[in-house]
């Protein structure tokens, strides 16, 4: 059985493959490399106190939105 070409898979496909084949270290490493290459996170220094959060209004807004209750009706 031949392995798929991990480098041509998009992140979603590779994520699904890694979850289905957790023992495949090569796929995992390619996935992590792809996550790093497509990084969308923002690095910021560690907070020294809770008051430092006032310096990051975007973070507060993001947390506020993600903690709002969602309608789970189907």
pLDDT tens for residues 25-60?
999 999 999 998 887 776 777 888 888 878 778 777
Between vectors from CA 33 to CA 7 and to CA 37, what angle results, nearest 5°?
95
* Domain residue limits at 33: 6-37
* Number of domains present in the structure of the chain: 1
For residue 40, the SS3 value is: coil
Between vectors from CA 67 to CA 66 and to CA 73, what angle results, nearest 5°?
90
* DSSP letter assigned to residue 4: P
- Residue 74 confidence (pLDDT): 44
pLDDT at 14 over 80: yes
42 domain residue, yes or no: no
54 domain residue, yes or no: no
19 domain residue, yes or no: yes
CA distances from 1 to 4, 21, 34, 44, 65 (A): 10, 14, 24, 45, 45
């Amino acid at each position: 059985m031949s392995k798929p070409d991990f480098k041509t898979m998009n992140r979603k496909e590779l994520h699904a493959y890694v979850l289905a084949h957790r023992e495949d270290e090569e796929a995992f490493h390619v996935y992590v490399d792809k996550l790093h290459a497509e990084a969308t996170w923002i690095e910021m220094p560690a907070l020294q106190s809770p008051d430092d959060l006032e310096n990051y209004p975007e973070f507060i807004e993001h947390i506020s939105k993600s903690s709002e209750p969602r309608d789970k009706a189907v």
